[in-house]
Structure 1
Amino acid sequence: MADLITARTAMRHHVGPRADVPVELYYSTGDPWAIRCYFPKEPVPVFWAFGRDLLAEGLVGPSGDGDVHIRPVDGRTTLLALCGPTGDGIAALRAPTRDLAAFLTRTHRLVPPGAEGELVDWDGCIRRLLR
């Protein structure tokens, strides 16, 4: 059974209306490389998944390649730029750096960086692939 870490925070749009956007953060040992963000108040609730290492790098400098980019803004906030799968929409959100860092620290306590592969049942993965 996988362990789960969750946290809630509020992000703000980087441009346009500065309304709070509630976000739930998830980390599971069932997928130890990924962080998931859930935006429950969107017209259609949205999940975004990206690498835990991307978040760690983005808290200290620009990080990202593809759909998700993360970078520090001013020491208090971190910018997350999320591009839709068709490339037709981008959400640029500012998050409290301390909330993201605290969540990331909790994930690192549960699974230290570099130890993610120890949680995967590689033999089971191969058996399922060969079926």
Structure 2
Amino acid sequence: MSTVIEQPVEARLVAAAPRMQTIPATLHYDRQDPFAVRMTFPAPATLEGVEVCWTFARDLLTAGLHGAEGHGDVRVRPYGFGRTVLEFHAPEGTAVVHVHSEEIEGFLLATHELVPAGTEHRQLDLDHDLAELMRDAC
């Protein structure tokens, strides 16, 4: 069984122009980092011309499907019309994208089949991580 889930999604960038631009994005989940998901935008879709990856809690994405969640760099909320809004706040500015909620729901279902909610801690190898920290401290 694979320990990584990747799902391409169609994101619509909210801009001042009336028509939103569609940009590709990828949702990513790795069993070795069981509390987190990543959303990656390819270089052509970013202002800087480099790939941008945002990492945030899987629980934030799950809760944001049903109500406004997040107070930091990443915020998620339902929008209606079968869409979910993700806001990414950085010093350079804020990016707001809409994603079809069913794409997020399908992705989350797959992540919860791989690592059920509440069992994330079982995926962590704390002894190994502590040994790595101690090795680097010497």
Q: TM range, normalised to the smaller chain?
A: over 0.9
Partner of 1:101: 105
Query: In the TM superposition, what whole-angstrom CA distance separates every residue of 1:72-92 from its partner, at most 9, and x where no partner exists?
Result: 0005000000011xx231001
Compute the displacement of 1:122 (Å). Answer: 0.8
Tell whether 2:130 aligns with 1:122. Answer: no
Q: Which residue of 2 aligns with 1:27?
A: 29
Q: Deviations over 1:24-57 (max 9, x none)?
A: 1110011111111110133211111100000000
TM-score (ref. length: structure 2): 0.88
Structure exhibiting the larger radius of gyration computed from Cα positions: 2
Among 61, 75, 94, the residue aligned to 1:69: 75
Q: Quick check: 2:14–2:21 contact (8 Å CA) kept in 1?
A: no
Q: Normalising by structure 1, what TM-score?
A: 0.92
What is the aligned partner in structure 2 of residue 47 from structure 1?
A: 53
Aligned-partner Cα distance in 2 for 1:16–1:120: 43
Runs of 4+ in 1 over 3 A off after TM superposition: none
CA distance in 2, matches of 1:71, 1:28: 23
Query: Once the two structures are aligned, what percentage of the paired residues are identical?
Result: 35
User: d(CA) in 2 for partners of 1:14 and 1:116?
Assistant: 33
Query: Which runs of 5 or more residues in structure 1 are unaligned?
Result: none
Q: CA RMSD in A?
A: 1.2
1: distance between equivalents of 2:79 and 2:50? 28
Secondary structure at the counterpart of residue 73 of structure 1:
strand
